[in-house]
Amino acid sequence: MKQEHSYELCDEGCGHPGAASAGLPDEELLYDLAELFKTFGDTTRIKILYALMESELCVCDLAEIVGTSQSAVSHQLRILKQSRLVKFRREGKSAKYSLADDHVHTMLAQGMDHICE
């Protein structure tokens, strides 16, 4: 007598129960994580983050370091703020930017370690 299974079999016919969900996080969390990683997909944003690993900086200093215009840096900072990767504080009429927390530093360092292996 053939036993009925409530799961699909792969091409090899192994059909592991529960493999379809395999402990995946909620779909919304996975979407948010994918969006976070997309933010790292731009060289200018990576340069900005690396510059902020060293010290708190204003837009004009970041523009000089990155080698682009202040408006381009401001645009990228807006994206980085929306992704909660950078934060800012007001200092008179200007704003000083820094990494949002140690997690950002860790992600950059681990990413670099990974590609340098």
Q: What is the CATH number of the domain that holds 80?
A: 1.10.10.10
Q: In this structure, is residue 37 part of a structural domain?
A: yes
Question: What pTM was estimated for this model as a whole?
Answer: 0.80
Residue 13, domain member (yes or no):
no
What count of other Cβ atoms lies within 10 Å of the Cβ of residue 99? 21
> What's the CA dihedral at 53, 104, 100, 37 to 10 degrees?
120
Tell whether 112 is covered by a domain. Answer: yes
Local structure of 5: helix, strand or coil: coil
Instruction: Give the CA-trace dihedral at 88, 91, 95, 96, to 10 degrees.
Output: -60
- The rounded average pLDDT for each run of 10 residues, N- to C-terminus, in the chain (117 residues) is 55 62 87 94 96 96 97 97 96 94 95 95
